[in-house]
Amino acid sequence: MKVAVVGATGLVGTKMLEVLAERDFPITELIPVASERSIGKEVFYKGTGYKVVSMDDAIKAKPAVALFSAGGSTSLEWAPKFAEAGITVIDNSSAWRMNPANKLVVPEVNAHVLGKDDKIIANPNCSTIQMVVALQPLHLRYKIKRVVVSTYQSVTGTGVKAVDQLNGERQAAYEGVAYTGPKAYAYTIDLNAIPQIDVFLENGYTKEEMKMVNETRKIMGDDSIGVTSTTVRIPVMGGHSEAVNVEFARDFDIAEVRTLLQESPGVVVLDDIANLQYPMPLIHAHNSDAVFVGRIRRDESQPNTLNMWVVSDNLRKGAATNAVQIAEYLVQKGLL
C-alpha cells in the first residue's frame, strides 16, 4: 500500500514515520511530503532514505492514504485535492474536526462511525484524545453529566520552536545571560506556567479550551455532556497531564472504576499511592502509546463525582499514533 506522510519533516510527521515503522503498517511505498523549502530533503523510514516530494507529485503517486500533519491552512487547501483523487486523508490539524461532514475519530471510542465514503477523517486535539480514551468506559457504565478538566501541557505540543525556546532559556540561565533566541511564547516558559494555549475567543476561553468542549461531545456522540476546561502550558516534555473531575448520572464503586479502566483498550492504570505510583509525563508517558490514569478518587464535595489524573504522550497517542490507528482500522475493515 502506498502511504503519504504530509508534513514529514515536522515533530508530528517524524513521529508518524516512527509509529508506522514500529507498528509494521503494510507500506509498499512511502511518499514523504513537506513544504516547498524541504523538497528534495531526505527522511528515513526503516533505515531507508526517501526524498521529500511536493503536494502535486504526491497526488500523482496515488497513495491509498495520506497522513496530514502540516497545519490547518495547508489541510484546508490540499486535503480536498487528495480526496478528489480518491486518496483517504487522515488530518491532524483542527481544519476539519468540527465540520459536520467529517468524522472525528479516536479508535478506542468511535471507530465504528467510519465508512467507505469518508475521505477526509479528522484526528482530534491531543488533549481531547487522551481524556476521551479514559472517559469512554466510564460513560458507558455511569453516564457522564459534566467534566471539569485542567491541563498541564508539554511544550512539544507547540512545536520545535517552543522546545528550542525552553532549552535555550535553560541554557541561558545556566550561563547567567539573557535569552535572546526565537520565542514561540509571549513569555518565558522555563520555570513558568502560561494559562493560555492558542488565541482567546469572545467568551474568554482559548481555542484549545473550546476544542476540548466541542470535540469531546462530538467524539462521544453526546451533546448533553457538560465540559469546561482550563488549559495551561508548562515547561515539561514527554506528554500532557490532565486533572479530570467527572460527575456521573449514577453512583459508582471505586474498585469497579479501576477495573473498567484496566480492561479498557489503550489505558494503563497506575494508581498505587502507598508506593507513590501515579502517572507522570517524562517518567511514564514519554514514547508510549498508552493513556495512563491514576490518582483515582471520589470527589467528596458532591455526589457521583470522580477525580482522576490522565497522562499521555501528546506526539504519539495525542497525534501520530491515533492517526496510524485510524489507518489500521480502515485496513482491517477493508475501507481503503
Residues noted as catalytic: 126, 240
Q: 65 vs 18, 59, 72, CA distance in Å?
A: 17, 10, 18
160 residue type, one letter? V
Output DSSP code: residue 312: E
Q: Scan for cell 479530570, then name that residue.
A: 244
* Residue 29 near residue 53 (C-beta atoms within 8 A): no
Contact 122, 103 (CB under 8 A): yes
Query: Contact 218/104 with Cβ under 8 angstroms?
Result: yes
Task: Quote the CA–CA distance of 195 and 332 in Å, as a whole number.
Answer: 41
Grid coordinates in use for 38?
524541504
Which helix (H) or strand (E) segment is 152 a member of? strand 144-153
Angle between helices 254-262 and 126-142 (to 10 degrees): 120
Strand, helix or coil for residue 118: coil
C-alpha cell at 35: 513544504
Alpha-carbon distance of 226 to 1, in angstroms, equals 42
Measure the CA–CA gap between 269 and 263, rounded to whole angstroms. 9
Nearest CA among 133, 132, 158, 152 for reference residue 240: 152
